[in-house]
Structure 1
Amino acid sequence: MAVSVTIDDVAAHAGVSIKTVSRVVNREANVSEKTRNKVMAAIEALNYRPNQAARGLAGRRSYLIGVVYDNISPNYLINLQSGMIETCHAASYGLALCPVAYAETGLVEHVMAWVRHSQVDGVLLTPPLTDCAPLLVALEKAGVPVVLVSSLGAGQVPAVVIDEVEAARQMTLHLIALGHTEIGFIKGPAAHSASQSRYEGFKAALAGAGIAINGAYVVEGRFDFDSGEIAAQRLLKGKRPTAIFASNDDMAAGVLHAAHKLGIAIPEALAVVGFDDTPISRQVWPSLTTIRQPIREMGNHAADLLLQLIAKKVLVEDGSSMVFQHGFELKVRGSSQKTSI
Structure 2
Amino acid sequence: MGRRRQAVTIKHVAADAGVSLQTVSRVINNEPNVRPQMKERVQASIDKLGYVPSIAAQRMSGSRSYLILAINDRERTIADWRARQGTDWVDQMLLGGMLTCADRGYRMLVELVDTHSDHVERELGAAIAALQPDGVVLTPPHSENPLITGLLAKRQIPFARIGSKKPGPGIAMTMGDEHLAAMATEYLVELGHTRIGFIAGPEEYSLAGWRIDGWREAMDRAGLAHDDLCARGDFGFDSGLVAATELLDLADPPTAIIASSDQMTLATMEVAQQRGLVIPDDLSLISFDNTPIVRFTRPPLTALDQPIAATAARAVELLIDSRDQTPPDQPIVLQGEIVVRGSTARAPHRAGN
SS at match of 2:137: strand
- Paired residue type of 1:337: A
1:57 lines up with 2:60 in the alignment:
yes
Could you say which residue in structure 2 is the equivalent of 1:232? 244
Is the CA contact (8 Å cut-off) linking 1:25 and 1:91 kept in structure 2? no
SS at match of 2:199: strand
Relative to structure 1, the CA distance from residue 339 to residue 210 in structure 2 (aligned partners, 3 Å threshold; closer, same or farther) is closer
Which stretches in structure 1 are left out of the alignment for 5+ residues? 11-17, 32-42
C-alpha distance in 2 between matches for 1:281 and 1:87: 27
Which stretches in structure 2 are left out of the alignment for 5+ residues? 14-20, 35-45, 81-86
Larger Rg belongs to:
2
Is the CA contact (8 Å cut-off) linking 2:160 and 2:170 kept in structure 1? yes
**Paired residues for 1:251-270 under 5 Å:** 251-270=264-283
SS at match of 2:88: helix
C-alpha distance in 1 between matches for 2:317 and 2:12: 27
Task: Tell me: higher relative CO, structure 1 or 2? Use CA pairs within 8 A at least 6 residues apart.
Answer: 1
Count of aligned pairs between the two proteins: 316
- In the TM superposition, residue 30 of structure 1 has moved relative to its aligned partner by 10
Q: Deviations over 1:286-335 (max 9, x none)?
A: 222122222112112211221222xx12224xxx6253322321222111
C-alpha distance in 2 between matches for 1:174 and 1:202: 11
SS at match of 1:210: coil
Is the CA contact (8 Å cut-off) linking 2:160 and 2:172 kept in structure 1? yes
C-alpha distance in 2 between matches for 1:27 and 1:204: 51
SS at match of 1:59: coil
Could you say which residue in structure 2 is the equivalent of 1:40? none
**Paired residues for 1:281-300 under 5 Å:** 281-300=294-313
C-alpha distance in 2 between matches for 1:160 and 1:243: 30
1:340 lines up with 2:351 in the alignment:
no
- In the TM superposition, residue 99 of structure 1 has moved relative to its aligned partner by 1.6
- In the TM superposition, residue 48 of structure 1 has moved relative to its aligned partner by 6.6
Is the CA contact (8 Å cut-off) linking 1:167 and 1:291 kept in structure 2? yes
Percent identical among aligned pairs is: 35
Q: Deviations over 1:196-227 (max 9, x none)?
A: 11010011011111222233x32211223343
Answer with 56-65 or 206-215: which moved more.
56-65
**Equivalent residue for 1:68, pick from 61, 68, 71:** 71
Give the TM-score normalised by the residue count of structure 2. Answer: 0.78
Give the TM-score normalised by the residue count of structure 1. Answer: 0.80
Is the CA contact (8 Å cut-off) linking 1:290 and 1:330 kept in structure 2? yes
Is the CA contact (8 Å cut-off) linking 2:120 and 2:147 kept in structure 1? no
Q: Deviations over 1:148-168 (max 9, x none)?
A: 223323354223333221221
Relative to structure 1, the CA distance from residue 50 to residue 276 in structure 2 (aligned partners, 3 Å threshold; closer, same or farther) is farther
SS at match of 2:301: coil
- In the TM superposition, residue 58 of structure 1 has moved relative to its aligned partner by 2.5
- In the TM superposition, residue 29 of structure 1 has moved relative to its aligned partner by 7.2
